[in-house]
Structure 1
């Protein structure tokens, strides 16, 4: 039996407890003879003193019996200060003085002391070897019989412990059998918690949570693979046709080929960005939070897109409130805003406006609008769906706004269609609280 199994450990602990209990019984039986000797001595001294009371000068000490209850007795009479007054029988060495107040009632020796008349101490002792031998023989017989009973109880306890451990661990075994079936075919199965011992439940809960995370990661990977295969099929087919045509032409249309390559690069970048957003971003776990000014993030994102706008003679108007701070969201928010500006550049019209304002002490609103036609808010959610395009033949990937909403929701905010006469997207950005802002 493996010693690292829970069943083996239960058996070992319960067997140890049983052994300790049996050991205590044996020790108690071995000590019981001493207790009986002390009790018998006390009773016999009481009987002797009931017949003869020693005189203060010890003149009648010899009247005390030297043979009593098949034992040889000796006596010594002392003052309270420990001075010897008399001893009996004559010709024997006097017993040592003992303080009757310091001597416990359960003295484990065949000697005792009693206070006589308030100022005398009688020390009495007996030779109880014969009684001790009889007691030892009696206890040896009792121990022999008790050993058989203890052995039988040990066997019964061992069998009971085995069945108890099997019953206790039955639910764990069934949970393990079900957990072994969790896989690609049954990704939604989880370890049942109802029948598990409460000490095992936290482990099962953690395992179920880990399975939930793995299932989510698997679903993200499956969706990414399906999206990539679906969306890259058409541009790859178009590029293949252009390359086949280029082999037969004297002057291939390299500009068209370059546009197709750029479109595929853009699509792949968007797919990767969406996969990272689905996984909660690319910040390493347990990395300490860093608070950043929201106005700084907006200016950096606008600066990234400004060359493309200037190349087409379009402008970006800024209206930014200062002093708004976000925690640990620099790269994610910057990417979301760049996606909005790229979306406005590719599909919007006229001047683009970026407005940042506080909604309340916990939330800011970042609004990006252009001069294109407005969309009703009730009809706007479809624009945030993956691969949805306002104009199906447009060169975009249909992922920009889906990435934006995913990033904002990962941060605890959201993205929505803004109200007004022109097209606008509003980002609801959670702000850092004062106790998290670093000096």
Structure 2
């Protein structure tokens, strides 16, 4: 028997370290060739690490959430034969797996101070049913009871009397005061105070999102621009196309039209379809339009890339967007599918609100946000009509994009969406 040591592979793209996201095996497990051992997270995507051998796991090299250098020991596997560790040389020790927890919990005696039993309140005296009063009727009470109520700031009209004819007695005041002094949480458990708390490690995709968002807001000079768009004609066209071709070519959402509008508008604004390397102080303009399409997953927000959007028709664009979104949500998106975008499109769909301020996806210099469609009254030629309206909430890097260019770019998109026939005029 020998030991086969698997080191953290070189993922490529100059990556020096990765985060160990999840183990799929534990010490003692038997593994086969090509079985996934662990998931690691790079700046771009989640990567599976398969086993190159058959054997038994004898040591793990890290814990989920740990950042590991390329070339460090990931896992050690006992194999038939000599393995890849020469006899007489010791493999660098992998970190031992945490000791297994016994299935039978050990009972530990804990000495606690004995609390005195709570006093059981005496049962309240049985009272006659309160007498209903007329709105202007003065409650019956003795002068002593009235003075006591006055001193305590009690309005007698709120006190139920148990005496003859509903007369308010001292016992009634005592009961009223006792009820007022009860803690609110005793009234209903729904309002009970909570003191529990939970600490959740920020690891995996959530850590990458946090790092990228913090980096983007720290480095880029964000400014946002919001434009209102009348999409009534666009929605009519979309519904018509789905009616005519939906069964054979698939249903179209709004996203393919927005992608097409980006492609057409960027022809006149090439200074926005760029990536800015602020360390090298170089702006790279791209002829190809690679659109990052933000997709929400169980782990967090991911941005797969619709490559060469300029070469896709509406249905091709829709199919590729759906495929990329499914790959991102299932964790199967490749590094190539998660990198290289030149501009990003983010949509919250029905939850899009009225206005948003999206954060740039560096090194891009523009991100276009789509808010939800609502029906609003609009004045057209002196008449109030109901139109389908939508806001575009976009952010730009002011280090590279001037305010006028940004405004004109979004207005160009608005013009294309309001006159959708222009989307198809070459």
User: What TM-score do you get using the length of structure 1 for normalisation?
Assistant: 0.19
Structure number with greater Rg is 1
User: What TM-score do you get using the length of structure 2 for normalisation?
Assistant: 0.19
Larger strand fraction of residues: 2
